[in-house]
Amino acid sequence: MISVDEARGRILEALRPTPSEVVALAEAWNRVVAQDVVARLTQPPADVSAMDGYALRAEDGGLGARLTVIGEAPAGHPFGHGVGVGEAVRLFTGSVVPDGADAILLQEDATRDGAIVEVNEAVVQGRHIRRAGKDFSVGDVVVPRGRRMTARDIGVAAAANHPWLSVHRRPRVAILATGDEIAMPGEPIPPGGIVSSNSHALAALVRAGGGEPVVLPVARDEHAAIGAVADAVAGIDMLVTTGGASVGDHDLVIEALKARGMTLDFWRIAMRPGKPLLFGQLGAMPVLGLPGNPVSAMVCAILFLLPALSRLSGLPGAPPPVTSAILGAGVKANDQRADYLRAAIDLDSAGRIVVFPFAVQDSAMLRRLAAADALVLRAPHAPALLEGAEVGIIRLDSLGL
Amino acid sequence: MISVDEARGRILEALRPTPSEVVALAEAWNRVVAQDVVARLTQPPADVSAMDGYALRAEDGGLGARLTVIGEAPAGHPFGHGVGVGEAVRLFTGSVVPDGADAILLQEDATRDGAIVEVNEAVVQGRHIRRAGKDFSVGDVVVPRGRRMTARDIGVAAAANHPWLSVHRRPRVAILATGDEIAMPGEPIPPGGIVSSNSHALAALVRAGGGEPVVLPVARDEHAAIGAVADAVAGIDMLVTTGGASVGDHDLVIEALKARGMTLDFWRIAMRPGKPLLFGQLGAMPVLGLPGNPVSAMVCAILFLLPALSRLSGLPGAPPPVTSAILGAGVKANDQRADYLRAAIDLDSAGRIVVFPFAVQDSAMLRRLAAADALVLRAPHAPALLEGAEVGIIRLDSLGL
C-alpha cells in the first residue's frame, strides 16, 4: 500500500497545465491567469484629492484665512489653470489637484460665501492628497500569473486597463460510469439496477474545481461500447472512471481500455474509504480510476481529483485545505490506513469549530455523506483521541463539495 | 450612526427570495433548491452484497463446507431463482442477494474449483449485506429546500432519481457606476479620468455569491442618462450603485433616481472603511448604494451585498463566515467605528492561522486589497490587542472574493 500523499504526488507529477486562451475581463472571475497582469497606467493617474473640499497653497490655509474661489474641478474635469496666492479651487473626491496647490481644505472645515471661502481649521501640506502612483504604476505586476482571479483581482485588472486576460483553459474532464445496472436519472431502471449518482456528483465536483465536465454515456459491460470511449477522448484533458477498480471479474472497462493502449497502474492506497485507485495514460491523456462506491468515489475525488484539477488549471495542485477543529466525541486508534471520517460540525460558545464524526461510516451511504460538513483526518496508526482533542478537518460545505 | 449588524438586518428584512425555475440536474450545482428533494425510490432497492463473493444460507457456510455454485448474478442481472440447501450463487458488489440466501462468503475467503466452492472462513448471517433502504427510502427528504446544492447533494438527488430540480432563480443584480471621469477598460480615458473598476469587481462578487450580474453602461453626470437607468430595471432583482453617496454636490444619480420615485434612506454606518450607505426601493426593486472608493465598495459589498444575494437566492442571508485567527502583530484600540483591517495570513508551526494586518489601510488602494487574504474584524471600542491575541477574520481567498 502507498500513502495518500505519495499517490497524489505521483498524479500531480504526471500532469501539465492546460494551454491559455483569451477571455473578456467580465468572464475571468475564478479563472487562473496564464500571464502576469501588468499595469498599463498609473493609479491614481495624477495627484488627486481624497476628500471633497478646496485645493489651495498650504501657506494660504491658516485658521481664519479667506480665499477667492476661482473655479471648480469635478472628478473627470481637471481645472485648466494653476492656483495662485490667495486662491482656491473647489474639488471633490478623485479630482486632480491643480498646479500650484499643495493642500486640501475639507468641505466640513470651510465656510463658503459666494466667491469667498473661509478656513475654519488650518490645512496641513500634502494631507488628503493621494499621490500619483500610490496604488500602482505603469509596468507593475498587479496580478501574478498562476493566480486564480478573485473579485478583487478583477477590480485591479480593470483599474490597470485590461479588457482581456490570458487565462488557462478550463480543464475538460470526461467522466465514465460503467455497468449494466446503471441508469441515468429519470430513465428506465433495469431489474436490480440503480440510478447513476457518481457521474453527476463528480461532474459537479469538476465544476467546483474550475473544470468543465463531459459526462460520457454509461458504458455497458461490452467491449464495443468501451472501445467507443477510447475513440472519443479528443480534446479531453483527463478521463475519470468509476468502478472497475476491484479485483472482480467484471472490470471489462479497464481490460478494454488497456487493449486500446492505455497504460495503467493499480495502487492500493492506505486509506479508508477507498483503497483501490488506478492512474495511467491513454495516449497523452491522464486517466484516473476512482472506486465505484459513491462515498469512496467522492472522498477520493476530493483527495486526488481536486488537486489534479488545480494542477491542470495552472495552480500548484495542493491538497485540499485542512483547518483545525475540536473533537466533540472521542475516536479510536487507527490501523495502518488513514481514515477520512464523515462528520458534522458545530460552533462552541467560544466560536471554535467542534466536529462530531458520524457513528456509522458506511462507504455506500450517500445521504450520510451529503449531510456531512467535514471530513476528519486520521493518519495511519494515529492514537485514540478523547473528546476535546484537536484534529485536522477538510471543510466540505465551503468548497461547494 | 447605526451598526453593521443593524444595517444588514434592515436590508435583509426588505428582501424576498426569487421565484423558482426548473433546471436539469447537471446545471443544479451551487443552486438553492426551492422544494424538498424527495426520494423517488429506495436505495439500495433490495438487499445487495457489499462485497464480491458468494450468496448462500448462513447455516451452510461453516468452515470447510463445500457448496455447489448454481449460477452468477452480476450487478444489474439478478439471479432468477432462490438459493437452496448446499447451494451458492456467485455475486459482486451491488448484486441483489437471491431469495433464500442470508450470508455472503467473501471471494478472498473462498476456493473455487469448477462448480464447487469451499468455505475457508465461516460466514456470519447478514454480514456484508446492505439492507434495502439502508441509504434512503421512497418518500425520504434527501435534500431539504433552502439548501445550496453541493456536489454530494447532486449525487444524492441523482440516486433518488431526479433528472430535474426546482431551484430559486439566480438573482439578477444590476450594477451602476457613475461619473464623467470613468472609462471602461480599453476605452478612451478622459483627461484626469480613471478606468472603472468597481463595476467589474462587484460583478465578479455577484457571480461568487451565486447571482447574475448585469453591468449597466456608466452613467454620465446628466439627468437624461440617469433617467434611462430607472426605465431599464425590468427583470432586475436588485440595483447596486457605487459613489454618489457622499454629501458632495455631484450626487446627481441619487437626485435623478429620487425624481423617478426611488425612496432612499441614507445611513451612516459605524464602520471603516465605508461609512455612508444608501438603501431603498425603486418600485418593487431594492436599491443598495455603495461608497465610491474601491476598497470601501468591496468591503461593504462583502458585508451587505453578499448576505443580500444569499437572501435573494433563498438562503437565510447570514453574515459572511467568521473564523478565528492569531494576531501576528498588535493592533491599537478602536474608536466608535468597527474596523475591517486588510491583512495577510500565514500558518504557524502548529498549523494555526496567523493574521498580519497591513500597516497602511488606505481605502483607495485596490492593489493592497487584492493582496489581502482576510479582513480582521475589530468591533467598535475594541481594546488594543497584543501579538498572539485571538481575533475573528473573514477569509477572502476561499470565497473567491
pLDDT in tens, A35-50: 999 999 999 999 999 8
Is A152 a domain residue?
A: yes
- Is some CB atom of chain A closer than 8 A to the CB atom of B192? yes
Q: How confident is the model at residue A343 (pLDDT cuts 50, 70, 90)?
A: very high
Interface touch A75/B25, C-beta < 8 Å = no
Q: Which helix (H) or strand (E) holds B226?
A: helix B223-230
Residues A164 and A177 in one domain: no
The pLDDT tens digits of the residues spanning B21-37 come to 999 999 999 999 999 99
Residues A184 and A152 in one domain: no
Residues B270 and B180 in one domain: yes
Lowest mean pLDDT among A145-154, A316-325, B82-91: A316-325
The pLDDT tens digits of the residues spanning A228-269 come to 877 788 889 999 998 764 444 446 777 788 888 888 887 889
Residue of B46, B185, B194 with shortest CB distance to A25: B185
Identify the domain containing residue B110 by its residue range: 48-130
CATH number at residue A205: 3.40.980.10
| ipTM attached to this prediction | 0.92
The pLDDT tens digits of the residues spanning B42-55 come to 999 999 998 889 99
Residues A12 and A26 in one domain: no
Is A122 a domain residue?
A: yes
Interface touch A150/B204, C-beta < 8 Å = yes
Quote the pLDDT of residue B250: 47
Residues A90 and A197 in one domain: no
Residue of A43, A198, A322 with shortest CB distance to B194: A43
Is B370 a domain residue?
A: yes
Residue B254 reports pLDDT greater than 80: no
Quote the pLDDT of residue B234: 84
Where does a domain end: B284, B312, B340? Answer: B312
Nearest to A297 by CA among A322, A267, A275: A275
Q: Mutating which of A142, A342, A366, A369 best tests the B interface, going by the most B Cβ atoms within 10 A?
A: A366
Is B349 a domain residue?
A: yes
Task: Please tell me which residue of chain B has the smallest CA distance to A43.
Answer: B194
Residue of B163, B195, B249 with shortest CB distance to A185: B163
**Closest-CA distance of chain A to residue B332, Å:** 22
**Closest-CA distance of chain A to residue B200, Å:** 6
- Phi then psi for residue A12, to 5 deg, are -65, -35
Lowest mean pLDDT among A268-277, B247-256, B301-310, B368-377: B247-256
Residue A140 pairs in a beta bridge with none
| Average confidence score pLDDT of chain B | 91
DSSP B47-96: -EESSSEEEE-GGG--TT-EEEEEEEE-TTS--SS---TTEEEEE-TTPB
Quote the pLDDT of residue A110: 96
Residues B105 and B189 in one domain: no
Task: Please tell me which residue of chain A has the smallest CA distance to B40.
Answer: A186
Residue with the larger pLDDT of the pair A323 and A373: A373
Quote the pLDDT of residue A247: 44
Most confidently modeled of A225-234, B256-265, B282-291? B282-291
Residue with the larger pLDDT of the pair A251 and A196: A196
Q: How confident is the model at residue A14 (pLDDT cuts 50, 70, 90)?
A: very high
Interface touch B52/A248, C-beta < 8 Å = yes
CATH number at residue B69: 2.170.190.11
Q: Where do runs of H (alpha helix) occur along A160-274? A: 198-208, 223-230, 252-259
CB pairs under 8 A between A and B: 323
Contacting residues of A for B22, CB less than 8 Å apart:
none
Q: Which helix (H) or strand (E) holds B252?
A: helix B252-259
Cα–Cα distance, A230 to A212 (Å, whole number)? 19
Residues A260 and A335 in one domain: no
Quote the pLDDT of residue A244: 62
Q: How confident is the model at residue B131 (pLDDT cuts 50, 70, 90)?
A: very high
Where does a domain end: A312, A346, A373? Answer: A312
Q: Where do runs of H (alpha helix) occur along A39-170? A: 151-159
Quote the pLDDT of residue B226: 74
Quote the pLDDT of residue B247: 44
Residues A362 and A352 in one domain: yes
β B172-177/B238-242 pair status = parallel
- Asked if residues B390 and B291 have their Cβ atoms less than 8 Å apart, the reply is no
**Closest-CA distance of chain B to residue A238, Å:** 19
**Closest-CA distance of chain A to residue B243, Å:** 10
CATH number at residue A141: 3.90.105.10
Lowest mean pLDDT among A180-184, A246-250, B188-192, B287-291: A246-250
Residues B296 and B367 in one domain: no
Interface touch A75/B181, C-beta < 8 Å = yes
CATH number at residue A343: 2.40.340.10
Lowest mean pLDDT among A64-73, B21-30, B154-163, B218-227: B218-227
Cα distances (Å, whole numbers) of residue A317 to A12, A158, A279, A302, B398: 7, 27, 16, 12, 15
Quote the pLDDT of residue B245: 47
Is A179 a domain residue?
A: yes
Quote the pLDDT of residue A245: 47
Q: Where do runs of H (alpha helix) occur along A276-397? A: 294-300, 306-312, 366-371
Residue B246 reports pLDDT greater than 60: no
- Is some CB atom of chain A closer than 8 A to the CB atom of B113? no
> For cell 466525541, what's the residue?
A329
Residues A65 and A145 in one domain: no
Nearest to A273 by CA among A227, A209, A340: A340
Interface touch B140/A30, C-beta < 8 Å = no
Quote the pLDDT of residue B251: 66
Contacting residues of A for B135, CB less than 8 Å apart:
364-368
Cα distances (Å, whole numbers) of residue B346 to A45, B214, B349, B372: 33, 36, 10, 11
Q: Mutating which of A89, A117, A152, A173 best tests the B interface, going by the most B Cβ atoms within 10 A?
A: A152
Quote the pLDDT of residue A220: 78
β A87-91/A103-106 pair status = unpaired
Is B317 a domain residue?
A: no
Is B318 a domain residue?
A: no
Domain count, chain B: 4
Q: How confident is the model at residue B225 (pLDDT cuts 50, 70, 90)?
A: confident
Cell of A178: 460503467
Cell of A188: 428506465
Residues B179 and B256 in one domain: yes
Where does a domain end: B279, B312, B345? Answer: B312
Cα–Cα distance, B84 to B61 (Å, whole number)? 12
Residues A114 and A161 in one domain: no
Q: How confident is the model at residue B133 (pLDDT cuts 50, 70, 90)?
A: very high
Cα–Cα distance, B144 to B284 (Å, whole number)? 29
Is A317 a domain residue?
A: no
What residue ranges in A348-389 does DSSP mark as E strands?
353-357, 374-378
Handedness of CA B80, B81, B87, B93 (dihedral sign): positive
